[in-house]
Amino acid sequence: MSSASEPGTTPQGFVLDKDQGDAFWWLGSLAINKLDGGSTHGGLSIVESLVPAGYAPPVHIHSGKDETFYILDGRFSFVCGSQSWQIGPGSLVFLPRDVPHGFRVSDDGPGRLLLIGNPAGFEDLIRELGDPAQQLQVPGPDVPMPDPDRVSAVWATHGITIVAPGSTPTPTP
């Protein structure tokens, strides 16, 4: 179920229940697009993500997009520039555009969070690199990951630069 309005129409209010939204297996996680730019005049997007223990995208920079994460379950380490935090359920972290950042799920994960992207567009990245989820769970090891060069190329078209390939957040305790 998509939350997007048809082009040229006025967005309408709606409700998505717990397991509703466009679900994708995306880079080793489950990403459910809950709210997209078509429903917010491009203002923001909201993605619910279920990520496995130890999950850590490389430290990267978003050009022109802020990210806010609200932690629902699990423990996470975040870095943003020279700052670092270890946070859990009920915590919110804001990561401004143009600042290197990343996160890591604790080894005793999994973790579940809401990603709020401002402006919208993160949902398009998920659609482009993800595969429709066959189940609402983290993909198994049999689900292939996209080619790293393709990931870098697609990220670049969305204004994302990987700071150091293979880098992971290393927050100070």
The strands making up 101-105's β-sheet, listed across from edge to edge, are: 83-87, 76-80, 101-105, 60-62, 160-162
| pLDDT of residue 173 exceeding 60 | no
Q: What are phi and psi of 138, to 5 degrees?
A: -60, 135
152 half-sphere exposure, CB direction, 13 A CA radius: 10
Q: What is the pLDDT of residues 111-142, one digit of tens each?
A: 999 999 999 999 999 999 999 999 999 998 88
Q: 171 falls in which pLDDT band (50, 70, 90)?
A: very low
Lowest mean pLDDT of 18-22, 47-51, 65-69, 144-148, name the range: 144-148
pLDDT band at 5 (very low <50, low <70, confident <90, very high): low
Residue partners of 164: CB distance under 8 A and separation at least 6: 58, 59
Of 113, 130, 133, 111, the C-alpha closest to 21 is: 133
**pLDDT per residue as tens digits for the range 48-76:** 999 999 999 889 999 999 999 999 999 99
CA dist 171 and 68 (Å) reads 18
pTM over 0.85: yes
CB 138 within 8 A of CB 52: yes
* pLDDT cut 70: percent of the chain above it: 90
Choosing among 2.40.110.10, 3.40.50.2300, 3.40.50.300, 2.60.120.10, the CATH entry for 22-162 is 2.60.120.10
Residue 106, both tokens: 């604790």
Q: Please check the confidence at residue 170 and state whether its pLDDT lies above 70.
A: no
Largest CA distance in the chain: 49
Domains of the chain: which residue ranges?
A: 22-162
